[in-house]
């Protein structure tokens, strides 16, 4: 069999490595279970490896196949990693998967400007196993028989038939290969909580179609069962003694029956394990009692995408939420003593001075900061990406150059409005953030925030040092300490 090397590219270099490479970890475990091969796993993100350090390591490793995956902003790094691998071993086959490989607009850019050989266009659990079998001569004669990929075929990009979505995540997917990951690094850099905090993705897909979000799963929500999740957390507690789990699903609360069953099961076997998750305004507003159920089961944080205080902008984003329900969620969270981590977006198509003022005024009236105010960023596959292409804001002929610049949405990249210059938009964001933060500082003191945090987290805080830099991170990223 071939020697397989999986590489996790570095992202968000201005922060600590916090999120485990969930998808790549699953692929590693699936290869091990199905093929009896334990791949080498090189986590550049965890170790913050430079390209030079990567090249030095690869000089002393054997690899026939390199698998790389990541989000859209990993585009540049994936090209660089591919170049290094090909320089050291010209015969290596490089396979790229994850979000960065899925939008059709990216395929030609990657093949034209990199030495990538194969793109995995959807879920990789079955696809990568079949690819390895083909490349090892253990299965069908060529790649054309492998569903769900595109690859170089002479001077053309050749597409195979689409691969159907996995029906049962419980039986057709697996847990990440945690033993191959540098868990010691990730566990000391909390995602949302304190102490030994790890993230977990318990579902795939979202039933909503927000214009700024890419959803490759046909708008279908599929999830692991409550039993599967609970068993996974028992394993993580036994193996790594975790204190906290941060559910990073697109929308954890889509199926409230699953949420309730999870709360019941978890309370029986892991009553002291704390957790956080993603929520949604319309779901909570309709079923406010679920918040108390979740808190009783150890949930200390539900994050939201409020996005705007302007109903006009919410409607244009297809958010399917109402301003009055956002206000209701704020009251429900405060009633239950939970923080209100919420993200906002500035600079969507149609944004005006008036809509910005509506957002700021809403935050002032509800005593919320705007620390997590993102620039509208047209990531490939989104509706606003199509808008940027159609209006010439992204040059089709120079798409590669745009993709190279993609990064965190906190950094300004492109102006999608007709009412602000680039400078005016950047300054408006700073002005809104400053005004909202000043108002919030007058609403609640830092000491009061820490007192509420201690009430929620209890023993975790008593056995873990409260680091000022970690507090600053939690203030800025998603308003995790917003009460």
For the chain, the structural domain boundaries read: 4-159, 190-476
**Quick check: 153 pLDDT over 90?**
no
pLDDT above 90 coverage of the chain, percent: 86
Task: List all residues 6 or more positions away from 353 whose beta carbon is below 8 Å from its beta carbon.
Answer: 419, 420, 428
Burial class of residue 418 (count of CB atoms within 10 Å of its CB; 0-12, 13-18, 19+): exposed
Q: Please give the Cα distance from 93 to 85 (Å, whole number).
A: 9
Give me the pLDDT at residue 131, please. 96
- pLDDT tens digit string along 187-218? 999 998 889 999 999 999 999 999 999 988 88
Q: How far from 448 is each of 370, 454, 482, CA to CA, in Å?
A: 19, 10, 11
H-helix or E-strand spanning residue 67: strand 65-69
66, β-bridge pairs = 5, 94
- pLDDT tens digit string along 278-303? 999 999 999 999 999 999 999 999 99
Range 133-156 average pLDDT: 86
* CA 196 to mean position of chain CA atoms: 19
| Contact between residue 416 and residue 384 where contact means Cβ atoms under 8 Å apart | yes
Give me the pLDDT at residue 428, please. 98
- pLDDT tens digit string along 251-269? 999 999 999 999 999 999 9
Does the structural domain 4-159 have CATH classification 3.90.580.10?
no
Task: List all residues 6 or more positions away from 73 whose beta carbon is below 8 Å from its beta carbon.
Answer: 11, 406, 407, 408
- Tell me which residue has tokens 């708008």: 219
| Contact between residue 226 and residue 258 where contact means Cβ atoms under 8 Å apart | yes
**Quick check: 401 pLDDT over 60?**
yes
- pLDDT band at 14; cut points 50, 70, 90: confident
H-helix or E-strand spanning residue 6: strand 4-8
53: which 2 tokens?
Answer: 């350090």
**Quick check: 86 pLDDT over 80?**
yes
| Contact between residue 147 and residue 163 where contact means Cβ atoms under 8 Å apart | yes
- pLDDT tens digit string along 312-346? 999 999 999 999 999 999 999 999 999 999 999 99
Q: Please give the Cα distance from 363 to 366 (Å, whole number).
A: 5
Listed residue (101, 152, 148, 111) closest to 126, CA to CA: 148
Q: Please give the Cα distance from 92 to 4 (Å, whole number).
A: 10
Terminal alpha carbon distance of the chain: 55
200: which 2 tokens?
Answer: 């977990």
CA atoms within 13 A on the CB side of 176: 22
| Contact between residue 144 and residue 158 where contact means Cβ atoms under 8 Å apart | yes
Task: List all residues 6 or more positions away from 14 whose beta carbon is below 8 Å from its beta carbon.
Answer: none
DSSP annotation of 99: G
Domain spanning 190-476: CATH superfamily: tm_1862 like domain (3.80.30.20)
H helices within 59-182, ranges in order? 75-88, 104-113, 127-135, 169-172
Q: Please give the Cα distance from 360 to 441 (Å, whole number).
A: 15
Give me the pLDDT at residue 479, please. 65
**Two domains, one topology: 4-159 and 190-476:** no
Q: Please give the Cα distance from 325 to 162 (Å, whole number).
A: 39
- pLDDT tens digit string along 410-463? 999 999 999 999 999 999 999 999 999 999 999 999 889 888 988 898 888 877
199: which 2 tokens?
Answer: 């993230």
User: What order do you get walking across the sheet with 244-247 strand by strand?
Assistant: 197-200, 244-247, 274-278, 299-307, 342-346, 373-375
């Amino acid at each position: 069999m071939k020697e397989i090397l999986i590489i996790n590219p570095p992202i968000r270099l201005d922060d600590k490595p916090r999120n485990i490479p969930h998808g790549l970890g699953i692929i590693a475990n699936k290869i091990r279970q199905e093929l009896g091969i334990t791949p080498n796993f090189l986590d550049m993100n965890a170790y913050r490896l430079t390209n030079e350090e990567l090249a030095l390591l690869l000089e002393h490793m054997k690899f026939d196949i390199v698998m790389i995956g990541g989000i859209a902003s990993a585009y540049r790094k994936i090209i660089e990693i591919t170049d290094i691998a090909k320089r050291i071993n010209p015969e290596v086959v490089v396979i790229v998967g994850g979000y960065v490989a899925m939008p059709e607009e990216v395929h030609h850019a990657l093949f034209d400007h990199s030495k990538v050989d194969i793109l995995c266009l959807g879920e990789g659990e079955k696809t990568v196993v079949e690819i390895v079998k083909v490349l090892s001569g253990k299965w069908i004669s060529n790649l054309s028989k492998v569903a769900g990929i595109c690859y170089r075929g002479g001077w053309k990009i050749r597409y195979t038939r689409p691969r159907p979505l996995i029906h049962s995540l419980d039986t057709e997917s697996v847990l990440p290969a945690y033993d191959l990951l540098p868990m010691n690094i990730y566990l000391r850099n909390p995602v949302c909580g304190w102490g030994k905090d790890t993230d977990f993705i318990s579902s795939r897909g979202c039933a909503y179609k927000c214009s700024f979000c890419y959803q490759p799963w046909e708008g279908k929500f599929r999830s692991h069962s409550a039993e599967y999740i609970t068993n996974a957390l028992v394993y993580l507690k036994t193996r790594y003694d975790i204190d906290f789990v941060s559910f990073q699903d697109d929308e954890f609360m889509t199926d409230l029956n699953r949420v309730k069953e999870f709360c019941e099961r978890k309370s029986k076997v892991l009553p002291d394990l704390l957790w956080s998750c993603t929520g949604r305004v319309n779901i909570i507003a309709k079923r406010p009692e679920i918040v108390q159920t979740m808190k009783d089961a150890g949930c200390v944080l539900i994050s939201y995408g409020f996005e705007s205080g302007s109903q006009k902008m919410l409607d244009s984003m297809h958010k399917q939420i109402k301003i009055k329900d956002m206000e209701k969620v704020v009251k429900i969270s405060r009633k239950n003593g939970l923080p209100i981590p919420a993200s906002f977006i500035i600079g969507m198509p149609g944004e005006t001075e008036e809509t910005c003022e509506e957002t700021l005024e809403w935050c002032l009236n509800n005593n919320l900061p705007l620390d997590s105010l993102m620039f509208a960023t047209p990531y490939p596959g989104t509706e606003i990406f199509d808008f940027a292409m159609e209006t010439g804001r992204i040059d089709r002929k120079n798409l590669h150059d745009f993709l190279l610049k993609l990064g965190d949405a906190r950094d300004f990249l492109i102006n999608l409005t007709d009412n602000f210059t680039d400078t005016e938009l950047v300054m408006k964001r700073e002005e809104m953030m400053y005004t909202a933060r000043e108002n919030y500082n007058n609403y609640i003191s830092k000491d009061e925030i820490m007192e509420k945090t201690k009430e929620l987290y209890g023993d975790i805080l008593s056995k873990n040092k409260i680091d000022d830099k970690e507090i600053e991170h939690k203030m800025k990223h998603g308003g995790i300490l917003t009460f």
